[in-house]
Structures are given as C-alpha cells and as structure tokens.
Amino acid sequence: MRRHRRFGPLILTGALALAALGSAPAVAAPPSGARHGVEVFGEDGSIGRATAPAASPYLTGGRPALAPAPGDGEVTPILRGGDPAGKVDVVVIADGYTAAEQERFRTDAAAKWRELSAVEPYAAYRGLFNVWAVATVSAESGITGDPDRDTVRDTALGSYFWCEDIERLLCVDTSAVEAYAAKAPQADLVLVVANTAKYGGAGYNVASPLGYDGIATVAGGNQKAGQIAVHETGHSLGKLADEYFYDGTDTYPAEEGEPGEPNISTHSAGRLARDHAKWYRWLGRTSPDGGVVGGYEGGGYYPKGLYRPTENSIMRSLGREFNLPGREAMIAGFYRHAAALTSPTPAGTPLTRADRLTVDLPVAGTTLTWSLDGRDLPQLRGRTTVNLATVPLPGPPGRPHTLTATATDPTPAVLDPTLRPHLTTTLTWPLTWPLTR
C-alpha cells in the first residue's frame, strides 16, 4: 500500500514526536546512517514531521544481550485473552527501569494499555487482545534527556529525548527493541514504555520480520502520552493515512494517483458518492470525532488536492476520536490478526459423541451457528458449549461427519462488504459415532 510522506523543512516549537515509517532488521543493527520518518506532536495535539536515526547513540556497548541481569527479558501477561494465534498481541517493553523497578514497569505497562483500550473501537474489542510485558533491566534509572539534554542514562534500549534537537521526541534503538520483542509469544504491535514522567514519545510503522506492525514509544509516567500510541496504531493496525497538512505546501500531484489508504482521497464528497468510492457509505452521518462525514480538503500532508472524511480526528490531532471510516478500518485491522471464534479444542481434533465441545466468542454480540456436514443445526445456534451426544448423526455407525461452528461479528461499524469477510471465523472438527478413539 502506498503511503505519501513529505519530509520538508519544519518549524518545531517544543514539539513531541511520533515516528511513522521505517524498517529494521530482526536482530542486526540498522545500516550506518539509516533514518526513519517521524511525526512531531505538540502538547496542544498538533502534528508535524521530521526524520530521526534508526540507531541510538546512547546504547552502551551496542545492541544489548538478552539476559545481562536476572529478570531481563522476562515476559509477564498483562491481559491474556487466549491463544496468540487468534489474538492481537500487544507487546509492551520497558526501558530505563532498574532491577528494583520492574514492578513499577508492570504497573506503568498496565496503565498504558488502559489508556489505549479506553478509546473506541479498542474499548468494544478488548476481548480480541493479549498484552505482554517484556522486562528489560537497565543499569540506570530514567531516560537520557530527562530532565535536561545534558543528562545521559545507561538504559537497555538507549531511549533518549532531544532526538534531532526536538526535546519531546523520544527515540529508541529499533534493533534493540526487535531483540526484546522476540521474547514475547507473538508480537503484532510493540509499545516501548520509558521510565519518565516527561511528556514525549515516538512511533515507527515498521514491517518487522517478527510480524508486528509497528513500534511506539511513550513516557510511562505521563498520562497524556498514551494518545501517541493511539495515533500510531491508526497507521499500523488501521493502515490509515495522516489527515493533517502543511500550510504553504504544494497541491497533491495528480500523477501520484488515488492513495491506497481508506481515509484520504483525490475525490470530493460528491464524486465519492457518484463513484461509490472510499468512505461514500458514511457520507452525511454524524461522526464520533465531531461533525458530519463528508469531503474536507486537506490531508496526507497536502492542503489541496486530497480530501479527508471529517474536520478533525485522531489522525489529524491528538485528543480526538477515530472518525467513522477510521473506526471501520481499525476493526478490520483487529480482525486481520484476531479471530471472531476460538476454542480450547483445536480445529481438526477428532471428536466422538462422548465429548463436550466449548468455543469462545471474544466480542459481545457475535452470532454463532453450527452445522453438520453442511446442514444447519438450529437447535445449537448461539450455544458456546455443546454436548456432542445430543447431536443427531445420520447414516450408519462409523460414518465420518464434519461439525462446523461459524461466528460473525455483525457490527454496524463496518459497512464495506469487502472488509466483512475478516469479521467471520469458521472452525471445523471431524466427528464419528460410535466411539472410535
């Protein structure tokens, strides 16, 4: 998917930053001089852009070993929703916490998850998530650049403020993050929590060999910093574009064509409606971020030539909600990693009439149907525990059958029919009678 980034000169005034694009090898350090695009956030919620190094100059001795101290690399579940294969797995990694401060890290990690999951659509979809805390043991407490730019700390990930001379830009060594993220059972999204109360953060939308979609860094002791992670997941999970723009920049080049992201378009509201394109299904509806969904010129860093769905949203400034097209994209993104239906009995496990089968529906309101050899079993509809002795098996004894459970999230927050298949999960098991183990 093409993402349009503009890295021209920026005027920065005490701003905080969130990195947006870049990639890093799984374990090896990035190439010398490698840089990432970064988004720069003011404390008033405004956003701009700059670039930053991929490696940290403050990482003592280069990339850290995975177990330099007792407890280093230890993984603790903050929220265990189920098998990682069927969940969105958020991995929270410490930096700047000493061996004596690991319990505080876990408290800060849980607090950051609460901040993130209080925002819709996270709040309605908490059941799709696992959250893992990965400990790092730093030699010193705190973060480089706090309280001033002359302060240097020896930490496991080399996090530091004053990155690129921007005080609130909290950069990190991405290859060090990769090494610790590999300790978790699975990683779809990575959040680095730094031991500081100073407002700051950063974020990297990386395509990691481990499979995760992004990295965000946030101040563990600052309640406002959680909004940085919310915005970053709009890129990484929702594949959303930024909806802000720079005054005085050029018009979006027509030769670039229609952007791939679902929340910016070269089409006005009228043309979206006429061509049944992008967010046309939401036009005229009141959006949770305020106002009405339409076509508002300016977005994707250009003041002219691109349109966004609403006047303001979390993809334009912090402290806002996802707009309706954004929520739709986020939910679809959740389901790209998670399943609408799971079971402690893996699909494909041979079953007999002596068994009881249990399934889990992580999202409220999900519909559940059952079928045998393709024929609906209406008497089992909605049941999450089934005594297989009550299932009528046609045909002679010993004939093999297939039992199927299908779950669908009918949420009205997803209107695009091309996204709805992500919201359905089907599990099947072979079933025989009589007992044939």
Run of H or E including 375: strand 375-376
Unique residue bearing structure tokens 């503009």: 6
Each residue's pLDDT tens digit, 82-124: 999 999 999 999 999 999 999 999 999 999 999 999 999 999 9
Each residue's pLDDT tens digit, 44-77: 777 767 677 878 989 865 544 444 688 899 999 9
- Residues near 388 by Cβ (< 8 Å), separated by ≥ 6? 351, 352, 353, 354, 355, 356, 357, 403, 431
> Across the strands, what pairs with 346?
none
Mean pLDDT over residues 302-310, rounded?
A: 97
Full-prediction pTM beyond 0.75? yes
pLDDT band at 11 (very low <50, low <70, confident <90, very high): very low
CATH 3.40.390.10 fits 16-236, yes or no: yes
Q: How far apart are CA 331 and CA 239, in angstroms?
A: 11
Each residue's pLDDT tens digit, 201-250: 887 766 788 888 778 899 999 888 888 889 989 998 999 999 999 887 88
pLDDT of residue 147: 95
Q: How far apart are CA 384 and CA 150, in angstroms?
A: 59
Q: How far apart are CA 98 and CA 333, in angstroms?
A: 35
